[in-house]
Amino acid sequence: MMDRIAKRLLQQGPFEYAEADLPTVTILEARIADVGRDQNVITYSRLVSGVEFNIPGLNGNKGFYIEPRDWIGLHRRIIGSMLADISARSYLHAGFIAGALVIRSEEFEPSDIFFDWMYELKALPSLDRSAILEFWTDQVREAHAWYRAHAVSRFPDVEWTNG
């Protein structure tokens, strides 16, 4: 039986930039899986370091790199879209949000946008600091346990109900 979070995730996809550049999503997802198996987390900057993005209609249809020190709103939307896709598939197939392993280097936790999204999905009961820390700790623990037990680096695609 599908829970309410899974239903909401299925209604939100497909995620625009993720659908447009599946090879890059695969690279990012493998990096998340690797740190998960190592019982670790990864910064946003390390996640995208050296990764070429190829999104039709952007940058004159040429590949480009996202330099964290030069991020603009579009870069955040691209990475957010790809992390949303990865997180939705990880939740739908394994019951955890893989994006919880991606953190800001300054605060050593995911972005406020991540927590706002979890709250919107009703995965997070409130934006209270204690609720955020409890939720995030649970997700990291679940991700580490799952990746330690599985060799999978990419979750299967899903059939979105919105797309």
Residue spans of the domains in the chain: they are 12-149
Give the start-end residues of each E strand in the chain.
42-43, 52-53, 64-65, 102-103
Task: Determine the average pLDDT of the residues in 74-95.
Answer: 96
pLDDT at site 95: 95
* Torsion sign (Cα): 53, 58, 61, 65: negative
Of the listed ranges 58-67, 101-110, 115-124, 152-161, the least confidently predicted one is 152-161
pTM of the predicted model as reported, rounded to 2 decimal places:
0.95
pLDDT at site 72: 85
pLDDT at site 162: 74
Task: Determine the average pLDDT of the residues in 67-84.
Answer: 90
* Banded pLDDT at 163 (limits 50, 70, 90): low
